[in-house]
Structure 1
């Protein structure tokens, strides 16, 4: 019996040994697997960290390039012309000497810029495409970040931040003193000490709907209007006057609607003194800066935009359509701008010249030069300075029959006024040394493709002629304007806004920028009694692009309008993929 038990115990000991060995083996396998998993996870974590760091480095490259533009607005001229992404750009050069930039490196032997604070563990390089800068103020940047053994690339669109970032922009919330007759002492912002309601303050009224971002360097006066976008003002942070809930006479009102929150602070945006920068765009002696000059017209000029991609231009005083020098000393006739003269299909004829819209370019209308050395110098004869009825006028039909001239300065015969209407097929900026009169609807043939800028040194008028009894000459109702509108030194205003009867709704699809607030209608109670009520809607394309060569503020920055990750441009060793 004892022997049998002993044998059995020996059998159980063998089984235990096998069990111990099996468990040990299993534990060993699990341990090895655990170590392998830990090492793999560590490697993956490191790869993930490098992957994320490479993207952060690419973003850092975009921000670094923006800072260079902020410190030097002319930095757009720099880039590596040999870079693949820069092939469509023009006139790019590499900065040299102390100004050299390692981020412009390409290839295996090319340099990378170090991300600040990374201790040399992260780098970036970028390539610039400035091919649309001269026309739309837009730059494209392809930035590649590198960290560890990973690289990632993003493309960012950078646009000048300026007036067309807003549906409505005004420097001063008062009527233009040159129109209202108010004292020049009124020309100060409310938060700078302008007091009372005697300076021609203008309100946003109850029938006004403003569908887009708004900014004023002044304090807005708002009475029951509806704002669908963000509203900002350069109010004095000490007094906190973001806006006044008052009508133009000082009466309190509480019905304003701010769908994106009440007005907030944003710094003043300085206006340029003139639009002379656009005048440079019609010179043929600046090949490097102006490789494709636009069209120069002289004296009162009418422009009818045609839906077939043409425009009909009447400009009797024009002799040369491109010039050289400032002041101009020579000129030429550009075939794209029409032929001066009074013959058939010529600029000085009664029906004008029909030409192709100078697409992605500028038309500038200048005053008749007073210097005899100027190629467009002319002596305006009284016999030619007539309106439609034979009375004194501008020689191209204004004032029209039975129209009472609104001001002594209206319809001058030797000034650079443009009279514009029609349907645009193309992208164009029309700029004037004096006024712009919008004589009818201005519409786009294609809301997706067409774009217009209207830039006057002085007033942009919505033409609204009246008779001697103050009744309206025009019988239509409503006016639509598709454009980015800018009055550099004065205002955007409806002519004779306080005479006649209600003209319906003024629909703006675009952006309005002006030095002084312009009046478009009179309110009687809650309704418009004369002029127009407002229906302003922002053209959201202006967030990303602009009409050709549209003016920017005196000081400007570049904001990123869009960015997207793309296929990696460079391998970690610097070679192109």
Structure 2
């Protein structure tokens, strides 16, 4: 039965195929189509869900990409803000001190130049330490859409204050008294009547520059056989970096005891540095001229004449220093030319606006009394100056020119003091828009007190009414003043300078100031920081005092002699022995020298802690004068004499970048903590709004910033612990 049923089942399948396939076809077709529709709909739903997932993922990728692009645009806008401000500084180095209503980024948002970006930037500037430390801080915020990014850029510039010693030209100034003869040349030479005139035409350029090598002939190098050379010798010690835009002349011995390793540089290029067409250049392995160089002879000594006694009168265009062998072990490295300032006119402007302007020869003696720094000022040709500097009380009577006034002026009454000593203005002289004290200090030539005869001589120009100054003189002299009444009346150092803006200065100082002169600075004895100690006069590392001296002409150590070259009888010679100097010096058109170094006596060492820069390289020691013991004052890396750095024409460069996240507040007042728990027990002081429309008030260690408009606000403040004082900044974006 079972088998049959199987057969029958099979028979139903096969034997009845036709009936089944025809009789039931309609019903089966409708059922299959319904099932297929359900399957298609299911697949469609699945594909739709998959599409939604893919779309969501794609959108998720697109949004971060857009945010990233805006973030990059905001960063680029912040960088553009820094570049824009630097460009303005390049065009005007003192731009950070000026008000510029055309610069929209300083008061709000400015569009990135060029039109290719939707970015904007706003800039805040902290220039509070530009003068004292040589640092400007820029805070530039870039914005693209709702994305912002903020950069801090610290700007600094290369200057003479980077070096213990720096010169433009390594040969004595043609105008240095005693260097070149002023006697007439028979028949003159090339239109030059004196050897000094010849030197003016031949020696005022770098050794590696083309130019005149005689009054009538051109050559490829400076004339080494006529133009004098100063040098660096093994019996000297110079600590710190040295640079010349010219070529050094070095003693042909091991100088490792005289110079620090790697400290000396020159702007004389080698082939590796890239020579200009026709440029002589230097050997990379021996970037100096030695004292033992073959092919040249020395023309050093007093009153050099043209033509030089050596033969030939020119070393020849083919001359090159030896290219191998370095006995000095101090081969200079290459550094580019550092341009010296053209004039101290900026300092004159600062002195006129908020400092002191004195007229004609002026004596300043520094003193520290009961912890306060003073300057005792004698300036008899000054008719008027700022009230805080003596007002109208300094002038002397023309009928009694030997009776002069000395004023005691406290230095702590000034901030970033600049003093300017001007030549006596003359009637008809044009009014100087940068000087409020020129027209009102005019004298007809010869009528000013300093040019009036005292007994039979006009020396001294200055006679301080100061017991301390008088004690610096020997007894027996009629007038105790400067220059010495016994000094050579024909001395080129001061014979025709009775109306010149010369400064006679000495003493210990306390405070921050820069003194600039239209003529010379005469160092009558030591000029030191009040904290200086020891044989070398090194100032204390903790001292916050700084002195800058800027002479338009010479700065020199005072060594007064009579016409017979012997020391004067009134000025004590001990005043000139081993002088100590703590200052940053710049001789704009001339150089630093010792008066009459070609004549005895030798008076020991010059001990300098500071910085010395000059147009030429003048002589401090020969038969007489001094040896050099110079050391860089490392405080100058962060403590600059007022406004002295601004004289540098070098561009402000970005020293370092960093990105920061400013705090954000609205217009109105918001409190911000200035320290963290990691600071420990500290106090906050000297909170100042350096940029932005806001005020700040500090209670404890919390600052409340009251902003009056949108933009960027920068607050500087000091955090004081038991051992340190640290300056910090709070950067606020006001929305």
TM-score w.r.t. length of structure 2: 0.57
Give the 3 Å change call, closer, same or farther, for CA 539–112 of structure 1 in structure 2. farther
Give the 3 Å change call, closer, same or farther, for CA 439–63 of structure 1 in structure 2. same
Conservation of the 8 A alpha-carbon contact between 2:172 and 2:228? yes
1:278-335 Cα shifts (integer Å, max 9, x gaps): 323344xxxxxx4x2x21111211101112221100111111115xxxxxxxxxx555
Secondary structure of the 1:375 match is: helix
Alpha-carbon separation, structure 1, partners of 2:451 and 2:552: 28
Alignment-derived partner of residue 354 in structure 1: 408
Conservation of the 8 A alpha-carbon contact between 1:337 and 1:355? no
Conservation of the 8 A alpha-carbon contact between 2:513 and 2:546? yes
Give the 3 Å change call, closer, same or farther, for CA 337–151 of structure 1 in structure 2. farther
Alignment-derived partner of residue 393 in structure 2: 339
Give the 3 Å change call, closer, same or farther, for CA 58–545 of structure 1 in structure 2. farther
2:522 to 437, 460, 464: 437
Alignment-derived partner of residue 207 in structure 2: 190
The CA deviation at 1:361 is 2.1
1:464 aligns with 2:559: yes
1:547 to 631, 636, 641: 641
1:40-99 Cα shifts (integer Å, max 9, x gaps): 9xx99999999999878756643453234224546436xxxxxxxxxxxxx63342xxxx
Conservation of the 8 A alpha-carbon contact between 2:154 and 2:655? yes
1:369 aligns with 2:425: yes
TM-score w.r.t. length of structure 1: 0.71
2:582 to 482, 499, 518: 482
Secondary structure of the 1:490 match is: coil
Give the 3 Å change call, closer, same or farther, for CA 60–213 of structure 1 in structure 2. farther
Alignment-derived partner of residue 364 in structure 2: 303
Alignment-derived partner of residue 672 in structure 2: none
Give the 3 Å change call, closer, same or farther, for CA 111–400 of structure 1 in structure 2. closer
Give the 3 Å change call, closer, same or farther, for CA 232–202 of structure 1 in structure 2. same
Secondary structure of the 2:175 match is: helix
Which is greater in Rg?
2
Alpha-carbon separation, structure 2, partners of 1:351 and 1:76: 39
Give the 3 Å change call, closer, same or farther, for CA 94–507 of structure 1 in structure 2. same
Moved more, 448-457 or 164-173: 164-173
Give the 3 Å change call, closer, same or farther, for CA 559–405 of structure 1 in structure 2. farther
The CA deviation at 1:363 is 1.2
Structure 1 gap segments, 5+ residues each:
1-39, 78-90, 284-289, 323-332, 523-528
1:76-127 Cα shifts (integer Å, max 9, x gaps): 36xxxxxxxxxxxxx63342xxxx55x5465xxx45648x99x869875421
Q: Alignment RMSD, CA only? A: 4.4
1:499 to 566, 576, 599: 599
1:168 aligns with 2:168: no
Conservation of the 8 A alpha-carbon contact between 1:211 and 1:536? yes
Identify the structure with bigger relative contact order (alpha carbons < 8 Å, sequence gap 6+).
Answer: 1
Alignment-derived partner of residue 544 in structure 2: 449
Alpha-carbon separation, structure 2, partners of 1:240 and 1:564: 40
1:231 to 264, 279, 284: 264
Give the 3 Å change call, closer, same or farther, for CA 506–567 of structure 1 in structure 2. farther
The CA deviation at 1:132 is 5.3
Conservation of the 8 A alpha-carbon contact between 1:362 and 1:430? yes
Give the 3 Å change call, closer, same or farther, for CA 318–455 of structure 1 in structure 2. same
Alpha-carbon separation, structure 2, partners of 1:161 and 1:569: 33
The CA deviation at 1:576 is 3.4
1:417 to 499, 502, 510: 502
The CA deviation at 1:423 is 1.5
Alignment-derived partner of residue 525 in structure 1: none
Alpha-carbon separation, structure 2, partners of 1:59 and 1:164: 29
Secondary structure of the 2:86 match is: helix
Give the 3 Å change call, closer, same or farther, for CA 499–359 of structure 1 in structure 2. farther
The CA deviation at 1:482 is 1.3
Secondary structure of the 2:170 match is: strand
Give the 3 Å change call, closer, same or farther, for CA 312–75 of structure 1 in structure 2. closer
Alpha-carbon separation, structure 1, partners of 2:646 and 2:656: 20
Secondary structure of the 1:489 match is: coil
Alignment-derived partner of residue 329 in structure 1: none
Conservation of the 8 A alpha-carbon contact between 1:465 and 1:474? no
1:266 aligns with 2:336: yes
1:246 to 287, 290, 295: 290
1:428 aligns with 2:513: yes
The CA deviation at 1:342 is 5.1
The CA deviation at 1:370 is 2.4
Alignment-derived partner of residue 217 in structure 1: 245
* Count, aligned residues: 488
1:69 aligns with 2:89: yes
Conservation of the 8 A alpha-carbon contact between 1:544 and 1:561? no
Alignment-derived partner of residue 399 in structure 1: 483
Alpha-carbon separation, structure 2, partners of 1:105 and 1:280: 27
Secondary structure of the 1:281 match is: helix
Structure 2 gap segments, 5+ residues each:
1-59, 181-195, 210-220, 270-274, 298-321, 430-438, 464-480, 532-539, 666-709, 712-732
Conservation of the 8 A alpha-carbon contact between 2:459 and 2:484? no
1:192-215 Cα shifts (integer Å, max 9, x gaps): 121223211211112233323333
Alpha-carbon separation, structure 2, partners of 1:493 and 1:547: 22
Alignment-derived partner of residue 698 in structure 2: none
1:219-252 Cα shifts (integer Å, max 9, x gaps): 2222234145643333253433263231298588
The CA deviation at 1:552 is 4.8
Give the 3 Å change call, closer, same or farther, for CA 404–489 of structure 1 in structure 2. same
The CA deviation at 1:546 is 3.1
Give the 3 Å change call, closer, same or farther, for CA 417–72 of structure 1 in structure 2. closer
Conservation of the 8 A alpha-carbon contact between 2:166 and 2:242? yes
The CA deviation at 1:191 is 0.6
